Amino acid sequence: MTSKITHIETMLVDIPTIRPHKLSMTSMAVQTMVIVRIKDDQGREGLGEGTTIGGLAYGPESPESIKMNIDTYLAPLLIDQPLHSIKLLIQRLSMSVRGNMIAKSALQTALLDLQGKHLGVPVSTLLGGAIHQHIPCLWVLASGDTDKDITEAKALIASGRHCDFKLKIGSRHVNDDVAHVAAIKAALGDSASVRVDVNQAWDESTATKGMAALQEAGVDLVEQPTPAKEWDALSRLSQKFTIPILADEGVADASDVFQLAQRGFNGGIALKIAKAGGPIEALYAATVSLASGMELYGGTLLEGSIGTAVSIHAWSTLPKLHWGSEMFGPLLLQDDIIKQPLCYHNNGVDVPDAPGLGIEIDEEKLALYRRK
């Protein structure tokens, strides 16, 4: 019997981070998540999450706009609709509402969770089936203090939780940023992979200077050094250096991957469910990336456990994540709103195997952090 969607609820949830998280465009001390709960006429519930970074500092959607646009425009398109085809529901949303990819991703996540529970299978099965049960996961060193970052990294290596690290740079002069990164790489040596994320902060000439120095320092990867849609600049830089470039903000979906491939870009692609509009579209982007010879990386917008879980399910279906993932979002938060946290160990995170997302809401914690 096909179930129908009867109710959709959204709420803002604010959870403090364990430390300030510095990016080139903002600094975060609290993460705000939009939690979505979709219910059907058989009493089941699907959970979704829409999360971005730093309000409107990062992109065109804020937590408040995500919630309002779901409530006002997107949710009414789903009420009373049958659940038998999630792709049909996605098409219904896309034909009526432009953009709003994070909002659409949150709804798609909840629909997948609901259908997985209805069928008794994990979301990874709905997406084609898990190839991997454990996903590599790096940690971002973003305090901005060299000594603190070194101490933090060494402690995480010793604990076995992470051995790959990314540094957020771009808010300071390029020489200061390079010195900061080089000192950390020198302190960690060959025991860890060190990468950097510039978050679009450099122009092409600055990137040329910075990447030459980072290459000399032994850094493994440079993420999005130049502005998002400057595809030609990103392609030229990728051909100029042996140090690989990872395209992030410049690539939202499969169409963007195609544009980069046409320009001769030879780096990697950071997949994110939020910028693609959901895990299904993120996997479309992965297919075009692999067909173009580009390597893959599982990215995040620092989602909590719900958004992280659905990303893990999606990445588990890919043949290979050449650069691993950064599904560490829940670890950056002081608390969680699910009963059983995701399992982080052995430099990665386990793929949940229970029906749907494989997670359950802690109602008391949700009530505690829900914005009144």
Task: Cite the active site residues.
Answer: 168, 326
Q: Which two tokens stand for residue 19?
A: 């430390």
Cα pseudo-dihedral 212, 213, 215, 216, rounded to 10: 120
- CA separation for the pair 329, 337 (Å, rounded): 13
- CA separation for the pair 286, 318 (Å, rounded): 8
- CA separation for the pair 62, 50 (Å, rounded): 10
Q: Tell me whether strands 348-350 and 344-345 are parallel, antiparallel or unpaired.
A: antiparallel
- CA separation for the pair 226, 24 (Å, rounded): 12
Hey, what amino acid is at 189? G
DSSP H helical ranges for the chain: 63-69, 75-78, 86-96, 101-119, 123-126, 146-159, 174-188, 204-217, 231-240, 254-262, 273-276, 279-291, 305-315, 363-369
Cα pseudo-dihedral 337, 343, 345, 349, rounded to 10: -90
CA 310 to chain centre: 10
| b/e 296-308 (16+ beta carbons within 10 angstroms → b) | bbbbbbbbbbbbb
- CA separation for the pair 273, 315 (Å, rounded): 10
- CA separation for the pair 337, 47 (Å, rounded): 12
